Structure 1
Amino acid sequence: SSVNFSTYLLIFPMMAGMMFISEFIAAQIPTTGPFFGDFYEYFTQMMGQLTDNPVIMIIMTVIMAPIFEEIIFRGIIQKGLINKGVEPWKAILYASVIFGVVHGNPWQFISAVMLGCVLGLVYYKTKSLLMPILLHAFNNLTLSLLVIYGKDESFAKVFHVSEWLVLAVGIVLFSLFCYLFMKKYKVHYAEM
């Protein structure tokens, strides 16, 4: 289904806010030590191979991943669960957790679950799979540009600001625009 332009003005700042919040939370997971250190080193090497060619990285992360992942996680899993009678909030959560697990590491798991919940809510309320695809592409494009030009996935590190400031801006953006989105789409807590 189609959505009006005002929806875009609500969902993109809401998504940016969640990106900032999830960055802060994911940054609390250790990257050193016997288990996390080795795993983080392996993960960093794998991601380094993906970022060797920026064009390939953009095609894979900004175009292909959002299309295929949103069709699978929101269009098939989430919608399928709702069609089977699972409460919408549970279907959104289950699809988001599976989405996080598929990312295969604890740092992206946290972000994927949190972002997946936003994508799931937007899909559920707008009934448009294009919305989560665009939001997913926005998330991946933003992170890709941080890596390409800033040499890091962290907003705080690239822009030389406090992680707490990133969190505060994230909370304000997400809270305000989520409230406006929920008001516009008449999301009631009893409905979820």
Structure 2
Amino acid sequence: MTMIKYPKNVLQAIMLLIFGFITLLPLIAINELHIINIPKEIFNHIMFLLYFLGIVLFYTLKNKGTASFISFFKTGDSFNAIAYIIICLLVMIFQVGINVPLAKFISYHFSKTNNITNPLNDIYTVLASIILAPFCEEIIFRGIILRGFLVNYNFKVAILLSAIIFCVFHINPSQLIGALILGLFLGYIYGYTKNLFTTIIFHSLSNLISVLTALLLFQTLGIGRADIIYGKWTLLTVGFSVILVGCLIYLLHAFVKKKCIKNV
């Protein structure tokens, strides 16, 4: 097993993320001076990609070659088919029944602006959320930060701390609750499997379901400010979804404790 020297703790993880922002300063300066003319939507995604590459470079240098980029994709373990079905149900119910209504509710009360919109109006952001963000964020937060924490903290603390950092990274108030729960969930999967491919796929699936739910809301409600997303059924939907998610988590953990994991 590769010996991870960095990051060992929360402070080092935060410094790593800060370094990523520092690498963007030249590009930001160039953009402010209008030396290049790139649409804002594309420019933001270019910045995110460079931010990711800066973090990977710094991480590799700090580990002095003991952790290469290729090492992120060494195949770990895999759950069995039933466990994967449970995870898919978990992700779907969480997004549709908990995260989307809570995020829209919080967004409405913070911004007081339209929060029911057509997500396909910004196709670049949709593609980035399904492809770019899961790939880069899983390498950063599970492949780098959580992997380092698992060496230096106990299992539960490592997952919790990495999920909190993942949550804070998202900044947007409407995304904080969803990011925290998703971070805990993906951290749990990675903690048992050490398989980054799995977390990337389920992160992508989670974002895809969120986009499809937002599109369905737009087609049903049209553009508007929705105080209560599902109307009189909102509280019932969220409450029932919380119960279902809790039961599925218990069931998934039971499978894990029975060691229904196979080497791949």
TM range (shorter): 0.7 to 0.9
- The equivalent residue for 2:205 is 138
- The whole-number CA distance in structure 1 between the counterparts of 2:118 and 2:91 is 27
Task: Give, as a single letter, the amino acid of the residue that structure 2 aligns with 1:124.
Answer: G
The one-character-per-residue Cα deviations of 1:88-137 (angstroms, maximum 9, x if unpaired) are: 21111111111111112111011100111111111112221122212111
Identify the match of residue 162 of structure 2 among 82, 92, 95.
Answer: 95
- The equivalent residue for 2:108 is 31
Q: Is the 1:123–1:132 Cα contact (8 Å) retained in structure 2?
A: yes
Measure how far apart 1:160 and its partner are: 5.7
- The equivalent residue for 2:262 is none
The answer to whether structure 1 residue 13 and structure 2 residue 127 are counterparts is: no
The one-character-per-residue Cα deviations of 1:118-159 (angstroms, maximum 9, x if unpaired) are: 11111112221122212111111011112334328x9x73x6
Report which structure shows greater RCO (CA 8 Å, sep ≥6).
1
Q: Is the 1:82–1:88 Cα contact (8 Å) retained in structure 2?
A: yes
- The equivalent residue for 1:172 is 243
The answer to whether structure 1 residue 72 and structure 2 residue 140 are counterparts is: yes
Q: Is the 2:107–2:173 Cα contact (8 Å) retained in structure 1?
A: no
Identify the match of residue 119 of structure 1 among 186, 192, 195.
Answer: 186
TM-score by length of 1: 0.76
- Residue 62 to residue 93, structure 1, CA distance change in 2 (3 Å): same
Measure how far apart 1:57 and its partner are: 3.1
Q: Structure 1 vs Structure 2: percent identity of aligned residues? A: 29
TM-score by length of 2: 0.57
- The equivalent residue for 2:176 is 109
Task: Give, as a single letter, the amino acid of the residue that structure 2 aligns with 1:21.
Answer: I
Measure how far apart 1:186 and its partner are: 1.0
The one-character-per-residue Cα deviations of 1:75-96 (angstroms, maximum 9, x if unpaired) are: 111111111x211211111111
- The whole-number CA distance in structure 1 between the counterparts of 2:202 and 2:195 is 12
- The whole-number CA distance in structure 2 between the counterparts of 1:64 and 1:110 is 21
The one-character-per-residue Cα deviations of 1:145-184 (angstroms, maximum 9, x if unpaired) are: 12334328x9x73x66612222133223212221111111
- The whole-number CA distance in structure 1 between the counterparts of 2:118 and 2:98 is 27
- The equivalent residue for 1:184 is 255
Size of the aligned set, in residue pairs, is 174
Task: Give, as a single letter, the amino acid of the residue that structure 2 aligns with 1:52.
Answer: N
- The whole-number CA distance in structure 1 between the counterparts of 2:194 and 2:252 is 14
- The whole-number CA distance in structure 1 between the counterparts of 2:142 and 2:191 is 9
SS across alignment from 1:53 = helix
- The whole-number CA distance in structure 2 between the counterparts of 1:26 and 1:81 is 29
- Residue 73 to residue 170, structure 1, CA distance change in 2 (3 Å): same
- Residue 96 to residue 181, structure 1, CA distance change in 2 (3 Å): same
Gaps of 5+ in 2: 1-75, 259-264
Task: Give, as a single letter, the amino acid of the residue that structure 1 aligns with 2:149.
Answer: L
